[in-house]
Every structure is written in C-alpha cells, then in structure tokens.
A and B are shown apart, each in its own frame.
Chain A
Amino acid sequence: GQQLNQSPQSMFIQEGEDVSMNCTSSSIFNTWLWYKQDPGEGPVLLIALYKAGELTSNGRLTAQFGITRKDSFLNISASIPSDVGIYFCAGFQGAQKLVFGQGTRLTINP
C-alpha cells in the first residue's frame, strides 16, 4: 500500500492563481521527487530533492524537502492551463524502488 499521503486530493482553481500541495510520510525518505502525469501518459519528473531543508525551483515550480525528511511541498505560481494534471510525490525506498503518493488532481478554470 501507499506510504505517502498527499493533500489535497483535488484542487479546482482559476488560471493565474498560485497552487500549493504537500506530501507527508510516517517514514523518513532520503530523496523526494515530484512528478506530473497527463491522461494516457506516464509520470514525468518535475523536481528532485536530495537534502533535508533543500528548496529547489524549476521555472514556476518550487519544492522543498522538509527538515524532518518526512514531508515535502510543491508550489506552482501563476498557474496556466497546461498545468492541469495529476501531481505525485515519490520517495526512494532502498536504492531504486520508488514509492508514490496517491496524487493531487489539479483542474484549472480559464
């Protein structure tokens, strides 16, 4: 079963608004990843975080690796229609095995 809990499960926002979503775990993860999945496609990596406290940006996306190593958040600024999709957090369990959250579905009203 899933070990990462994402919230909210879904978001409905207006174009141009900022978005914030987060991910928590009962276990420590040494790497946090954020993926986006479009319908009919596989997940695509957006941001990777490797150190507790790390804050990383990728364009309009910003993510932080929590100090306790049990949480992370993802912010999207000035949302645009192509941001629609499902966002997943993920962490490595062991060297290669990825564990995913259940996803946050983002819908944008133009």
Chain B
Amino acid sequence: GAGVSQSPRYKVAKRGQDVALRCDPISGHVSLFWYQQALGQGPEFLTYFQNEAQLDKSGLPSDRFFAERPEGSVSTLKIQRTQQEDSAVYLCASSPRTSVKVWGNEQFFGPGTRLTVL
C-alpha cells in the first residue's frame, strides 16, 4: 500500500547551501506534519498543515526554515543557508482527519530524510 513517502532519503549539503525536502502524504489525508529528529532524540514538531493552510509553525527553529503545501497534498520543507546544527532526520507525517479522538486517525510517518550539513 502507498504510505507516506519522502525524498530524497539522504541529502548532504555544504554549509550555506539551500535544500528542499519533499513529502508525499497518504492520498486524501487532510493533515500534514513536519518533525525534526536529532541523533539519539525523539522527533520534535516543526509545523502543521490542514489542507493547504499552515495552521501552526511554532516549531520552526528560525526564519531560514520554510514549509509549503500549495495544493493541499505534496509538501516541501525548505531550509535556506544551511548550518551544521540543521543536520538531522526530517520526518513527515500525515493523518486523515483533524480529530485526535479516533483510532485510525493517527499520524502516519514517512521514513524521513537524513540531512547532513558539512
């Protein structure tokens, strides 16, 4: 079955380069989330979309981070002028509805993009 897919799976960037990470959510899922996972840590929330609307971007670490979901399906996380501290796995997740009360509405995670900034 088609789960959440992310590309590229691995990205190496030189400090100062811009990168773009893509997420293809499960078809029909309304909500889309981005998380950052540092080595040895749990995922940390970055931002959340409901359809094309970005409803929460409180977790974005700086204005170098920008996310979009223009047509309410595919999303792109862009990081400008990458720094070494941006090195992490970037996880995307999607869920079918906006309620948290129904089993089956959980956030389904993709495999992540491992970003290494040299």
Contacts and interface: CB of A to CB of B under 8 A. Distances in A.
A81 interface: no
B4 A96 contact: no
Contact of B45 (A44, A95, A98, A103): A98
B65 interface: no
Contacts of B41: 2, 102-103
Using C-beta atoms within 8 Å of the partner chain, give the interface range for chain B. Answer: 20 to 34
Contacts of B43: 43, 88, 98, 100
B10 to A, nearest CB: 10
B18 interface: no
Interface residues of A, number: 26
A103 B111 contact: no
B44 A96 contact: no
A41 B42 contact: no
Nearest to A38: B111
A105 to B, nearest CB: 9
Interface of A: 2, 4, 31, 33, 40-45, 48, 50, 88, 90, 92-103
- Top 10 nearest A-B pairs (CB, nearest first) are A42-B109, A100-B42, A45-B106, A97-B45, A88-B42, A100-B43, A43-B109, A102-B42, A42-B91, A41-B111
